[in-house]
Structure formats: C-alpha cells, structure tokens
Amino acid sequence: MKVLVSFNASEKQKNIIENLLNGYAEVYYKEDFPNEVDILITLDPKRELGEERLISLRSLKFIQCVYSGVEHLPYELIAENVLIAGNFGAYSVPIAEHIVGMILDLAKRLTANHIKLSRSIYDRNTPNKMLRGKTVGILGFGGIGKETAKLLKPFDVKILAINRTGKTDLEVDFIGTLEDLDFVLKESDVLVISLPLTKRTRNLITKRELNLMKRDAILINVARAHIVSEKDLCEHLLENPNFQAGFDVWWREPFMGEEFSLNYPFFELENFLGSPHNSNIVEGMFEEALEIAVKNVLSFIKGEGVRNLVNREDYL
C-alpha cells in the first residue's frame, strides 16, 4: 500500500514511520506527492494538503490522525467509505501530570500568592485546600482520565467517572455516562474535563451546569474550550470568587488557525489559571504518539483490529 505523510516530518519522525512500515508499505511525503494514496497519516489534512489535493485522493482507504482530537478534520471532503482513526490516549501521561499540577496550583494558591507577593502583598489568611478526602469528577474516562485517576490515588480522593459505556476496568467509586452528569457535578470538589469535542459535548457546561457545582469547586479543562461556555464561565468566576478554574485550552487559538484572544477578562481574576495548550508538549512525546499512530496503520495494512475508529456522526 502507498502511505502519504502530509505533515512536515523531521528525519527522526521519518525513521519511525519507515522502520515500522518497512516491507508493508511505500511511504511518501507531501513534497513527493504520489498519484494514488491508500493511507494518509496526518495532523490537519485540509491545512497540510489543501482542499483540491485532499479531494484528489480517490483511492484513499484509511486516515490516521496523529493528534488525539479529531473534531477539526474536514469530514465533508472525505469519502464516506474511508475509515478514520484518531490517536486517543496517546498523550495521556503528560496531560494527566499537567492536570494534577493545575489542581495543586489552584488548591494551594501557588500562582495567586506568587503574584500577590510580587506586588508586596503578604497574604497568609486565605486558606489553601487539602485534596485528601475530596471527590474528583472526571468527564471522559479514557486514557487521560484513567491516568489522572492513577496519579490522584495517593491523595486518597474519591473518583466519580463518566464515559460512553458506563463501564471501566479501573477501580473507581462511581462510573456512569453523560446521563449522570448532574450527579457528578453536584458531588465533585474537583471536576476534570477530558472529553472529546463532539456535537453532544459542545457547550456541555453552561450556566446551569456551573450552578450545580459546589461554590468552592475547582474546574480543570484540558480537552477543548468549547465544551464550556466562555461567557458563562467568566461570569461564574466573577460571581463566585471561591470557585476556581484551570484551562489549557482556548476558544480561539493558533492550534485551530486563529489568533489567541479572549472575549472576557479571565486573566484579571485570581481564581483562574491558564496555560498555552502545552500539556502534551514534552520532549519526545510527539514521537511516542507518532509511533502509536503508525502501529495502528500497520494493523490496518495487516487486516488486524484497528483502534480508535471515529464515528463521523459525532462530528458532522
């Protein structure tokens, strides 16, 4: 089979791809674009190839995205018979560490107090929060959610998890589906969002859902910003100064082809913490994720079980 890699791969990344597919496929890169392509390994095919080139891939059978999220893929340009796979869970470990870092920063008020001290404000009176005995809700109990639960286990917290099936092989205090969202919101001292952005999860958390949460809860979002209403979140933070939020994702950012900008003054608030969508940016992580993706391509070529297939109806 002919495999096209549409992103600008480094020599190290090319070696990973070619070594894994050696003897099973001919590998091409967009600078030597072949006439026919069976498999596409991509980050963002529309941006990398353009609409005309992408549509011209008439023999395409399988698309493997190296990113975990797939809401950005141009489904309308891809023939219905083409199988599409995400790379769900490939970046779980560093993202889970980032989540725990954000939880601890907010609970212990590290950044907030650092900023105060830099302004000569010596505040010993605002209490920190202790995690022991608290309840952590995790919306999206896939790779990231499970790794987060494992890291939080030594803190002796309760884990309330939500996924598609309401089942998990990891020991938790509760496992349910989005039908149980209200219960998890009400019970959680910390809420972690690691869900994919789909038709159902877009604007999942609005004013109604935020008002169900505890007034001193911590909300962490490492998934996609559009799962939470930007306006409703900012208003909730302003009205509830003991409520805290940490976001690694944004409503407009370069990752989605837009300039980073906000419509509301999040960074004027002491109860908000942000990072530039870099929870997965650690040395060697992209190469690890690429290897997972290429192994999935190899499974497709061999006719074995393919992981992380995308249901287009979730996104169209």
- Per-residue pLDDT tens over the stretch 264-315: 999 999 999 999 999 999 999 999 999 999 999 999 999 998 999 999 999 8
8-state DSSP, 78: S
Average pLDDT, the chain: 96
* pLDDT for 231: 98
When pLDDT is averaged across residues 228-236 and rounded to a whole number, the result is 98
Clarify whether residues 165 and 244 are in a common domain.
Answer: yes
CB 105 within 8 A of CB 131: no
Q: Out of 72, 109, 236, 277, which one is annotated catalytic?
A: 277
* pLDDT for 32: 85
pLDDT at 35 over 90: no
Instruction: Give the pLDDT band (50/70/90) at residue 34.
Output: confident
Clarify whether residues 157 and 302 are in a common domain.
Answer: no
Clarify whether residues 180 and 291 are in a common domain.
Answer: no
pLDDT at 62 over 80: yes
pLDDT at 258 over 80: yes
| pTM of the entire predicted model | 0.94
* Structural domain range at position 190: 92-274
* pLDDT for 27: 96
pLDDT at 131 over 80: yes
Return the closest-CA partner of residue 42 out of 13, 63, 58, 68. 63
157: left (phi over 0), alpha (psi -120 to 50) or beta: beta
Alpha carbon of residue 255 to chain centroid: 12
* pLDDT for 5: 97
Q: Out of 98, 109, 224, 236, which one is annotated catalytic?
A: 224
* CA end-to-end distance (rounded Å), the chain: 29
Task: Reply yes or no on whether 277 is catalytic.
Answer: yes
When pLDDT is averaged across residues 192-217 and rounded to a whole number, the result is 97
The total of other beta-carbon atoms located within 10 Å of residue 311's CB is 9
Spatial distance between the Cα atoms of 197 and 71, rounded to a whole number of angstroms: 6
Clarify whether residues 269 and 297 are in a common domain.
Answer: no
Strands (E), 74-213: 83-85, 135-139, 158-162, 174-176, 190-193
* pLDDT for 166: 96
- The encoded tokens of residue 55 equal 């549509």
* pLDDT for 33: 81
Clarify whether residues 213 and 101 are in a common domain.
Answer: yes
Clarify whether residues 223 and 171 are in a common domain.
Answer: yes
Position 62, amino acid: F
* pLDDT for 7: 95
Task: Reply yes or no on whether 224 is catalytic.
Answer: yes
* pLDDT for 316: 78
Clarify whether residues 235 and 200 are in a common domain.
Answer: yes
Clarify whether residues 182 and 298 are in a common domain.
Answer: no
In the chain, the number of structural domains is: 2
Clarify whether residues 68 and 137 are in a common domain.
Answer: no
CB 246 within 8 A of CB 274: yes
Specify the CATH number for the domain of residue 263: 3.40.50.720
Clarify whether residues 132 and 233 are in a common domain.
Answer: yes
CB 296 within 8 A of CB 85: yes
Percentage of residues in the chain having pLDDT higher than 70: 100
Q: Out of 18, 48, 235, 253, which one is annotated catalytic?
A: 253
Clarify whether residues 131 and 68 are in a common domain.
Answer: no
8-state DSSP, 251: S
Exposed, middle or buried: residue 133 (CB in 10 Å: 0-12, 13-18, 19+)?
exposed
Spatial distance between the Cα atoms of 44 and 276, rounded to a whole number of angstroms: 19
- The encoded tokens of residue 313 equal 């109806």
- The encoded tokens of residue 112 equal 């907030």
Spatial distance between the Cα atoms of 66 and 47, rounded to a whole number of angstroms: 14
* pLDDT for 282: 96
Clarify whether residues 15 and 102 are in a common domain.
Answer: no
Spatial distance between the Cα atoms of 172 and 8, rounded to a whole number of angstroms: 41
